[in-house]
């Protein structure tokens, strides 16, 4: 590993993780918000979850050497 790569690796290790939308909320907080969603919103979220699941099932992970 070169000196530049070592320096970059050390910077990456000490960075704070970014927060994306609801990533900082607990599962209970998410559920409490979802209780008050309309039926249409709940259906749309459910459909999105099913689509994401089917997409991930089709994913092929390869390891590059």
42 within 8 A of 34, measured Cβ to Cβ? yes
Residue 20 DSSP one-character state: -
The SS3 of residue 62 is coil
- Give per-residue pLDDT as tens, 7-56: 555 556 666 666 666 667 888 888 888 899 999 999 999 999 999 999 99
Q: Is the pLDDT of residue 64 over 90?
A: no
Domain edges within the chain: 25-60
Please report where in the chains the tokens 């459910």 appear, as a residue.
46
What backbone torsions phi and psi does residue 44 show, to the nearest 5 degrees? -60, -40
**The pTM of the whole model exceeds 0.75:** no
Of 22, 25, 26, 61, the residue nearest 45 (C-alpha) = 22
Q: Could you tell me which residue, 61 or 55, shows the higher pLDDT?
A: 55
pLDDT at 43: 95
């Amino acid at each position: 590993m070169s000196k530049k790569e070592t320096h970059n690796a050390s910077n990456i290790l000490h960075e704070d993780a970014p927060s994306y939308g609801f990533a900082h909320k607990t599962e209970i907080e998410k559920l409490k918000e979802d209780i008050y969603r309309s039926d249409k919103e709940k259906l749309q979220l459910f459909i999105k979850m099913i689509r994401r699941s089917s997409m991930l099932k089709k994913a092929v992970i390869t390891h590059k050497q």
